[in-house]
Structure 1
Amino acid sequence: MANAPPSTLLDEALDGKGAAVFSTSPAAGGRMILVEDCVETSGAFVVHHLLKRCLSPHSSDVVVFLSFANPFSHYDRILRKMGCNLSVQRDNKRLMFLDMLMLERLGRDRGKTSEDVFIALFGEIQKAVELSLSHAGRQHITVIIDDVSLMEVDANGSSNLVLDFLHYCSSLTAQFGCSLITLNHDDVYSNEDRPGLLLKLEYLADVVIKVEPFSTGLATDVHGQLTVSNKGIHDGSGKSRNKVHNFHFRIKDSSVEYFYPGSKT
């Protein structure tokens, strides 16, 4: 089996275990990771990073990817630059890609309601999880949703329907030990006072990754900052605590560089 890829500050912030951060036993349950970004600084690179880690050669993970934002070709092109061939992963049954941009997806072109569509969609996810876990060597499933704000558009603006759907997906973390990764745009709700959907997502999440612009404005070598809030980290005494990591990042053509504030001159 291939050696694990080098860890980054982002990996270390997620317990320092690289891709294995998602590989928990069904008995222990999985985790929910919420990525929040804004117009000035997209968090898509975090989703790409986590997707690549889940599909790395030393991992046995299977990914169920729900895309409300982009077609498969978009992710395939980006991940190829990062050294991960999504077409091969899909053929090998390690990636199940659900393209929600297709009008005929789950019968939306046949007059089904948004609720019908989301119920059918969760049914597909649950079936994919159960099928993947039945195969030998498949130890862990990660469900990735890109992104929640567009899901809300698909639900005709119903935050309650989206939240119900995410609650169902979250239940898979306890039932099957799956992990759930979601991307949402914090500034979509800038005209509201911390709306219920955003607060509830942050409450549900075990890890919140905030992607924000550089605090002092634009810089050549710094594209933004990450704040990783990791809930319920257990220390040596058996007690749990929250841990927050802050660092900067610079996006390159085929990778992202992470570094602590002040370490770049």
Structure 2
Amino acid sequence: MADVTPRNLLDEALDGKGAAVSSTSPRGGRMILVEDCVETGGAFVLHHLLKRSLSPSSSDVVVFLSFAHPFSHYDRILRKMGCNLSVQRENKRLLFFDMLTVDHLDRDRRKTSEDILISLYGEVQKAVEASLSHEDKRHITVIIDDVSLMEVDANGSSNLVLDFLHYCYSLTAQFGCSLITLNHNDVYSATDRPTLLLQMEYLADVVIKVEPLGTGLATDVHGQLTVTNKGLQDDFGKTRNVVKNYHFRIKDSSVEYFYPGSKT
């Protein structure tokens, strides 16, 4: 069945078919990194990708790890976008891990940060394997919101977070899963670019940077989006990175994307 989700420039930038979060991708599982900053948050990109992954035209499953907000937060936002997360969770298409709850994964004083992340990955892997056991060969998308808060949860250990991300990344090769992560780029602005951020950018097939306008505030433009799609082949068989730049405006229940200079 064809995807009935309305197309927009962001979908087209994700290689023309939105295949970065779709089981139809010829490249199998992919990793998307969303980077934002305090002035311009990128949560709306994550919400868009979540909605696409739960499109009614597919049976895809999302494993969502939330270090940022409770389930009710995402449910309220996605309802405005026409996607009922409560129903998706009941139908087992959304497996939601609320890392804000104190008792999740037996979190107590005897558990170290490493123990918790190892236990969490074990549950993620079990969820992926259980979802793939269905005869319809479901595609799995793992979403992490957000990496910087995971690092806080790990008592500031970027090495533990990087290990966890590498384990999740291995699922893209082992099971063809997709991995989507959100991170705050300006968290590291006071230091040299750390290994964690560099490694995430290296691993990602698609890097989406959400930034304020270089010219300052504008009434009808809320920020700019740079989408770097790595390793695409051109008509001559050469591999290159494709970079697309857009402006965006956030509305109540949607986001409008347009080319720079097309809005006056």
Query: How does the TM-score come out when normalised to structure 2?
Result: 0.96
Query: Cα offset for 1:190?
Result: 1.1
Q: The residue matched to 1:109 in structure 2 has which SS?
A: coil
Verify: 1:22 aligned to 2:9, yes or no.
no
Task: Tell me the distance in 2 between the aligned counterparts of 1:95 and 1:77.
Answer: 15
Task: Tell me the distance in 1 between the aligned counterparts of 2:12 and 2:27.
Answer: 20
The equivalent of 2:101 in structure 1 is: 102
Q: The residue matched to 1:57 in structure 2 has which SS?
A: coil
Q: Which runs of 5+ in 2 are unaligned?
A: none
Query: Cα offset for 1:137?
Result: 2.1
Task: Tell me the distance in 2 between the aligned counterparts of 1:94 and 1:120.
Answer: 22
Tell whether the 8 Å contact from 1:25 to 1:177 is kept in structure 2 after alignment.
no
Counting only pairs closer than 5 Å after superposition, residues 3-82 of structure 1 correspond to structure 2 as 3-18=3-18, 20-24=19-23, 28-82=27-81
The equivalent of 2:166 in structure 1 is: 167
Task: Tell me the distance in 2 between the aligned counterparts of 1:24 and 1:3.
Answer: 12
> What amino acid sits opposite 1:47 in the alignment?
L
Counting only pairs closer than 5 Å after superposition, residues 67-216 of structure 1 correspond to structure 2 as 67-216=66-215
**1:230-262 CA deviation, whole Å, 9 max, x = no partner?**
101122333321000000000000000000001
**1:15-42 CA deviation, whole Å, 9 max, x = no partner?**
1113x43234799431110000000000
> What amino acid sits opposite 1:10 in the alignment?
L
Task: Tell me the distance in 1 between the aligned counterparts of 2:137 and 2:76.
Answer: 26
Tell whether the 8 Å contact from 1:22 to 1:142 is kept in structure 2 after alignment.
yes
**1:209-247 CA deviation, whole Å, 9 max, x = no partner?**
000001111101000000001101122333321000000
Distance 1:25 1:6, change over 3 A: closer
Query: Cα offset for 1:136?
Result: 2.4
> What amino acid sits opposite 2:196 in the alignment?
L
Query: Cα offset for 1:138?
Result: 4.1
Count of paired positions: 264
Distance 1:7 1:125, change over 3 A: same
Query: How does the TM-score come out when normalised to structure 1?
Result: 0.96
Query: Cα offset for 1:60?
Result: 2.1
Which aligned runs of 4 or more in structure 1 are off by greater than 3 angstroms? 24-29
Q: The residue matched to 2:97 in structure 1 has which SS?
A: strand
Tell whether the 8 Å contact from 2:20 to 2:29 is kept in structure 1 after alignment.
no
Query: Cα offset for 1:162?
Result: 0.2
Query: Cα offset for 1:109?
Result: 1.9
**1:104-154 CA deviation, whole Å, 9 max, x = no partner?**
111112521111101110000000000001112242100000000000000
Give the stretch that moved more between structures: 138-147 or 74-83.
Answer: 138-147
Query: Cα offset for 1:2?
Result: 6.7
> What amino acid sits opposite 2:263 in the alignment?
K
Verify: 1:227 aligned to 2:260, yes or no.
no
Tell whether the 8 Å contact from 1:26 to 1:174 is kept in structure 2 after alignment.
no
Task: Tell me the distance in 2 between the aligned counterparts of 1:82 and 1:27.
Answer: 28
Tell whether the 8 Å contact from 1:26 to 1:177 is kept in structure 2 after alignment.
no
**1:50-76 CA deviation, whole Å, 9 max, x = no partner?**
000000111221000000000000000
Distance 1:253 1:189, change over 3 A: same
Task: Tell me the distance in 1 between the aligned counterparts of 2:213 and 2:111.
Answer: 44
RMSD: 1.5
Residue identity over aligned pairs, in percent, reads 80
Distance 1:25 1:15, change over 3 A: closer
Tell whether the 8 Å contact from 1:22 to 1:31 is kept in structure 2 after alignment.
yes
